Amino acid sequence: MFAFIIRRLAILPVVLLALTLVIVGLLQFLTPAERAAAYVTSEQQLRNLDKIIRDKGLDQPFLVQYWSWLKEAVRGNLGFSKASNKPVTETIAERFPATLELTLYALVPLLGFGVWLGTLAGLNKNKWIDQFARVFAVITYNIPTFVLGILLLVVFYGALGIAPGPGLISSETQVALLINPVPRVTGLLSIDALLAGNWSVFWDVLHHLLLPVITLATISTATLIKVTRGAMLEVLSQDYVRTARAKGLPERVVNLKHARRNGLIPVATLGGYTVIGLLQGAIITESIFGLPGIGSWGVDAAGKFDVPGLLGFALLAGVIVVVASLLVDVLYALIDPRVRFD
């Protein structure tokens, strides 16, 4: 298993090298002056475009430019992000916890509700709950994240007024935090507030995260319901389930211990896709709800032609996906003893 993990981690530098090579390569389609626009933050700099081109070596051959970027990147200097007005590494450190917070909370309804409904649907094939689960899955699967987010905002914020507007905290909490700041331990504001015993901040963050979490979890939930249902149907027809029933075990024990435990194995294979799906969903969700995570920063960087920011954003996305998929695969092997690393 150790060799497997090492081999999978070894692909990481290759992925990141290929990715950054492509991005710097794409930049070669632009003129040096256009490339310099990525570093312009003030009018005064605009007049010194030639100096920027010279300083950053933007008129150098492609590989020379890439090499100079790579040298700095390896040293941990990813440049300065125009979009966040801070160094890229600092931006990532500051904003990543918010994304983590959103996705971790989204996992709760995603796994809980998806697995629960999928199991029920599988156990009650063609009954009303199964029909409901299938219709629910078809409908939610077909609503793109950005449309769902807007619709939820229209209904719960605009019409009913029970959900808060965009942002991670309300302005009152913002003021309260300025006076009485919550010490940063994990970086996840809700957890930090909880650790500090600051309930009002904790509830405010949860309140603000409710709609984004629903938005983010919904689309992946549909896939999870479908897969869980299919896996349950498959498992329920197995001999060992029949044996368990024949032994006279209570229906509940058969369904949950014998059937569902094994039914969840194929669900675990979804892990990699779910990670990618959540990350992509987070980019859109954060932008809709104005959450200060890396997704909204990446979109901002894209809109402002912030090349260092984009490079950092893409690098981070690559690292997250490769590492998270690896974790999922290892977990998969732990829950299913039949899986061998090869």
Residues forming the site for other proteins (CB under 8 A): 11, 14-15, 18-19, 23, 26-27, 29-30, 138-139, 141-147, 150-151, 153-154, 157-161, 165, 276, 279-280, 283-284, 287-288, 298-299, 301-303, 305, 307, 310, 313-314, 317-318, 321-322, 325
Q: Which is nearer to other proteins, 111 or 143 (CB)?
A: 143
Pick 268 or 288: Cβ nearer other proteins: 288
86 pairs with which residues across the strands?
A: 81
Judged by beta carbon, residue 221 or residue 287, the one nearer other proteins is 287
Burial group, residue 64, by CB count within 10 angstroms (0-12, 13-18, 19+)? exposed
DSSP structure class, residue 39: G
CB of 195 to other proteins, least distance (A): 31
Nearest distance from C-beta of residue 139 to other proteins, angstroms: 8
Closer residue to other proteins, CB minimum distance, 5 or 23: 23
Tokens found for residue 37: 């626009």
Min CB(267)–other proteins separation in Å: 19
- Give the shortest CB-293-to-other proteins separation in angstroms: 14
Alpha-carbon torsion 133, 135, 138, 139, what sign? negative
Q: Which residues, in sequence order, are CB contacts of 24 under 8 Å at separation 6+?
A: 62, 65, 66, 69, 311
Structural contact between residues 287 and 295, judged by C-beta atoms closer than 8 angstroms? yes
Rounded to 5 degrees, φ, ψ at 125 are -55, 130
Least gap, CB of 183 to other proteins (angstroms): 33
CB of 98 or CB of 322, closer to other proteins: 322
Tell me how far, at minimum, the Cβ of 279 lies from other proteins, in Å.
Answer: 5
Smaller CB separation from other proteins, 14 or 64: 14
Least Å distance, CB 287 to other proteins, is 6
Closest to other proteins by CB, 160 or 246: 160
Q: What separation in angstroms does the CA of 65 have from each of 52, 54, 78, 204? A: 14, 12, 14, 46
Tokens of 187: 């970086």
Q: What sign does the CA torsion over 85, 88, 93, 97 have? A: positive
Question: Looking at beta carbons only, is 256 or 323 nearer to other proteins?
Answer: 323
**Phi-psi domain of 42 (left: phi exceeds 0; alpha: psi -120 through 50; beta: other):** beta
Task: Report CA torsion sign: 329, 333, 336, 340.
Answer: positive
Sign of the dihedral defined by the CA atoms of residues 190, 192, 193, 194, in that order: positive
Nearer to other proteins, 12 or 256 (CB): 12
Min dist. Cβ of residue 247 to other proteins (A): 32
How far apart CA 135 and CA 110 sit, in angstroms, is 17
**In terms of Cα–Cα distance, which of 207, 190, 213 is closest to 108?**
213
Please give the distance of CA 311 from its chain centroid, rounded to a whole number.
17
Q: How far is the CB of 312 from other proteins (least distance, A)?
A: 11
As a dihedral over the C-alpha atoms of residue 181, residue 184, residue 189, residue 191, rounded to 10 degrees, the angle is -120
* Pair 292, 95: CB distance under 8 Å: yes
